[in-house]
Amino acid sequence: MSDSASVAACTILVIMGVSGSGKSTIGGALAAQLGWRYTEGDDFHPPANVAKMRAGKPLDDADRQPWLAAIARWMDARVQSRRPGVIGCSALKRAYRDLLRADRQQVWFLYLRVSRETLQQRVTTRHHAYMPASLLDSQLATLEEPGRDEPRCITLDADAGVAAIVEAALHALAAHGILPRSEEPR
């Protein structure tokens, strides 16, 4: 296995951004392109969090701790068994990303940066199990965009179409040397 292939063998991509930014859509499409598995970060919420979100109440930091800890355990299991993965996880605050990143060199964040107008349009025209459009404001208020000093973060213009975003993601990953040659975009 080449150096880049061995790195990619256990790379974990965290697709992050507010609700409606396209984490599930882009994460799924990107994973399909890579032949990797896409995992929904929302599935790691304990039942109490799901109930709160269904009721339209924003989660607080204490609520998010068991969720992030569960995702971190999932990441460690993937890395330990040397299986790459793509996970959608809002990771809105730096503290959440720090917790997920810790000293995990395999973890990269792909931030889907999207305008408020686009978000508004997307969340009002879809049905989501537990993310009513009313939570958009709280999501945007909570969001701390990845800082320039944050390691292993890539920002993508997520106002673009799905194919363009996936292509930009593949180019960025290749540019950072974290895709084996066969998975680099042509």
Ligand X SMILES: Nc1ncnc2c1ncn2[C@@H]1O[C@H](COP(=O)(O)OP(=O)(O)OP(=O)(O)O)[C@@H](O)[C@H]1O
Name the residues that contact ligand X, by CB under 6 A: 17, 19-25, 88, 90, 122, 126, 128, 131, 158, 161-162, 165
Chain-centroid distance, C-alpha 168: 15
With binding defined as CB under 5 A, does residue 142 bind Mg ion? no
Is 43 or 144 the residue whose CB approaches Mg ion more closely? 43
Is 6 or 115 the residue whose CB approaches ligand X more closely? 115
Burial (0-12, 13-18, 19+ Cβ within 10 Å), 52:
middle
- Binds Mg ion (CB under 5 A): choice among 24, 118, 138, 155: 24
Which span (16-24, 58-66, 77-85, 99-107) binds Mg ion, by CB under 5 A?
16-24
CA-to-CA distance for 159 and 156, rounded, in angstroms?
9
Is 79 or 89 the residue whose CB approaches ligand X more closely? 89
Dihedral sign of CA atoms 5, 104, 150, 37 in order: positive
Strand order across the 153-157 sheet:
37-40, 85-88, 12-16, 107-113, 153-157
- Which 3 state secondary structure label does DSSP give 122? helix
Q: Are 84 and 178 in contact (CB under 8 A)?
A: no
Q: Position of tokens 């929302």?
A: 42
Which span (17-25, 106-114, 119-127, 162-170) binds Mg ion, by CB under 5 A?
17-25
Is 75 or 131 the residue whose CB approaches Mg ion more closely? 131
CA-to-CA distance for 88 and 110, rounded, in angstroms?
10
Partner touching 179 among Mg ion, ligand X, none, CB below 5 to 8 Å by kind: none
Which span (15-23, 44-52, 100-108, 140-148) binds Mg ion, by CB under 5 A?
15-23
Partner touching 106 among ligand X, Mg ion, none, CB below 5 to 8 Å by kind: none
Is 45 or 101 the residue whose CB approaches ligand X more closely? 45
Residues of this chain that bind Mg ion (CB under 5 A): 23-24
